[in-house]
């Protein structure tokens, strides 16, 4: 099997939900789009899809400088995240709920979580696990997969009631998880409220309480400005994810790569800075590393890999991304992740 074959299989299974386009950018012509006119969010972006599209556009604007006259070398993509050695600065995003728009025949939530967590582990990297309205303290599909992987995974909770989040964190601790966190940008989720699982905006004090509640490093996902970054850092977040949730929570935001430089300038060294949104290739990864990110999360492509190829499909995708990143590093004269600087982009 290959990444391409996994995608072909995913195309059959995700018929009417995702077109498995070569360019996955939330363009209005894509079959996932149309929320403005009542279509379900599915794999698409909020409203017109502008935020989803802006993620891809922001990456497209950045150009790589080719630099090939040097001593011969084999680049290494190894790095660390929260003190753990990983094979590449590429991890799987906390994507969930594919069965809620595709049905269990496409993939069950349990199998989605297992594919992502175990598939990433096999590739030497980490799978993040999120949460949607089908999750409860009894149905913790993500944490179960993390436990199966011997704790090798990260749990991102929805911004529910503080005491509920803390219970999820305790369960993640028991599973031996690497870290926990919340997607603060999940605070507008109507579907959670509709299923009697309300979500809330969180204050710095709330975040501090969550940091204190756990022995694990705490991550804030959903940062799109310096003010929110400041508050996350002040609360004690060990990592932040510059993210607009793949353009799924607010229409008309800038692309994440447009926002990243301001966050890097203000907070690099004070917390670990990750980014996601529209990252599809090793070239995209290199671009955002050059802007100062320390790692990336990949969302929609990981879903397609899990649906088409299960655990092995996710491993294949991660290995493929790693080899493309390696090639991009070779062509820009970067021997290691530390050598990737702003000098390699225009
Ligand atoms: C179908 C789908 C479900 C998602 N579910 C969650 C979730 O439960 N929790 C979360 O933190 N992020 C969720 N996300 C957002 C991703 O974690 C990530 O931020 C985004 O997908 C990155 O953009 P990309 O898909 O363009 O790579 C979801 C994204 C998609 C496409």
- Tens of pLDDT, residue by residue over 45-82, are 999 999 999 999 999 999 999 999 999 999 999 999 99
Listed residue (340, 323, 327) closest to 3, CA to CA: 323
pLDDT at 194: 92
Element (H, E) at 337: none
Q: Measure the CA–CA gap between 83 and 63, rounded to whole angstroms.
A: 31
Residue among 317, 331, 338, 254 nearest 78 (CA): 338
User: Average of pLDDT values for 336-341?
Assistant: 98
Tell me the pLDDT of the chain averaged across its residues.
Answer: 97
pLDDT tier at 257, thresholds 50, 70, 90:
very high
The pLDDT value recorded for residue 42 is 96
Helices 3-13 and 300-331 sit at what angle, rounded to 10 degrees?
Answer: 160
Tokens of 124: 């030497």
Indicate if ligand 1 lies below 6 Å from the C-beta of 96. yes
Nearest-CA residue for ligand 1 atom 4 is: 95
Classify strands 128-129 and 154-157 as parallel, antiparallel or unpaired.
parallel
Q: How far apart are CA 343 and CA 346, in angstroms?
A: 8
pLDDT of residue 137: 96
Contact yes or no for 314/293 (Cβ under 8 A):
no
pTM more than 0.75: yes
CB of 296 sitting under 6 A from ligand 1: no
CATH placement of domain 79-333: 3.20.20.70
Which residues on neighbouring strands pair with residue 298, listed in sequence order?
Answer: 92
> What are the beta bridge partners of residue 275?
242, 296
Atom of ligand 1 at shortest distance to CA of 243?
19
Q: What is the pLDDT of residues 128-143, one digit of tens each?
A: 999 999 999 999 999 9
For the record, the structure tokens of 26 come out as: 């939330």
Q: Per-residue DSSP letters for 245-286?
A: TTTTSSTTPPPHHHHHHHHHHHHBTTBEEEEESS--SHHHHH
For residue 18, which of 255, 307, 231 has the smallest C-alpha distance?
307
Q: Which residue, by CA, sits nearest to atom 29 of ligand 1?
A: 95
In the prediction, which pLDDT does 124 show? 99
78 touches 337 (CB < 8 A): yes
Residue-level pLDDT at 162: 98
Region 86-109: mean pLDDT is 96
Alpha helices in the chain (DSSP H): 3-13, 50-61, 98-102, 109-122, 141-148, 162-175, 190-194, 204-213, 226-235, 256-267, 282-290, 300-331
Work out the average pLDDT over 154-171. Answer: 98
The reply to whether ligand 1 has any atom less than 6 angstroms from the CB of 130 is yes
Instruction: Tell me which residue has its CA closest to atom 2 in ligand 1.
Output: 95
Q: Whose CA is closest to atom 6 on ligand 1? A: 95
Question: What local confidence, expressed as pLDDT, does residue 275 receive?
Answer: 99
300 ligand 1 Cβ < 6 A? yes
Domain ranges of the chain: 79-333
pLDDT-derived band at 314, boundaries 50, 70, 90: very high
Contact between 82 and 179 (Cβ < 8 Å): yes
Task: Kindly calculate the radius of gyration of the chain based on its CA atoms and give it in whole angstroms.
Answer: 19
- Supply 235's token pair: 């609360």
Q: What gap in Å lies between CA 72 and CA 207, rounded to an integer?
A: 48
């Amino acid at each position: 099997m290959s990444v391409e074959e996994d995608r072909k299989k995913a195309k059959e299974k995700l018929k009417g939900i995702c077109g498995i386009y070569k360019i996955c950018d939330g363009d209005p012509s894509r079959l996932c789009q149309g929320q403005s006119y009542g279509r379900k969010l599915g794999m698409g972006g909020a409203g017109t899809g502008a935020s989803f599209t802006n993620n891809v556009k922001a990456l497209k604007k950045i150009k790589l400088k080719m630099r090939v006259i040097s001593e011969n070398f084999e680049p290494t993509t190894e790095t660390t995240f929260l003190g753990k050695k990983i094979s590449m600065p590429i991890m799987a995003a906390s994507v969930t709920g594919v069965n809620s728009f595709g049905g269990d025949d496409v993939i069950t939530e349990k199998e989605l979580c297992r594919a992502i967590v175990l598939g990433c582990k096999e590739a030497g990297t980490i799978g993040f696990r999120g949460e949607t309205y089908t999750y409860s303290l009894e149905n913790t599909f993500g944490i179960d997969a993390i436990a199966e992987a011997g704790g090798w995974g990260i749990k991102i909770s929805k911004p529910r009631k503080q005491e509920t989040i803390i219970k999820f964190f305790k369960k993640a601790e028991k599973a031996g998880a690497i870290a926990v966190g919340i997607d603060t940008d999940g605070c507008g989720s109507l579907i959670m409220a509709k299923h009697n699982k309300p979500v809330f905006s969180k204050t710095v004090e709330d975040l501090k309480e969550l940091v204190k509640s756990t022995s694990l490093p705490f991550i804030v996902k959903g940062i799109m400005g310096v003010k929110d970054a400041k508050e996350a850092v002040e609360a004690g977040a060990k990592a932040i994810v510059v993210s607009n949730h793949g353009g799924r929570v607010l229409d008309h935001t800038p692309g994440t790569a447009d926002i990243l430089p301001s966050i890097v300038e203000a907070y690099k060294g004070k917390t670990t800075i990750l980014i996601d949104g529209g990252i599809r290739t090793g070239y995209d990864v290199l671009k955002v590393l050059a802007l100062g990110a320390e790692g990336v999360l990949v969302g929609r492509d990981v879903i397609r890999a899990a649906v088409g190829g299960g655990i092995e499909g996710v491993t294949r995708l991660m290995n493929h991304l790693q080899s493309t990143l390696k090639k991009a590093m070779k062509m820009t004269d970067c021997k290691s992740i530390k050598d990737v600087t702003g000098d390699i982009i225009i």
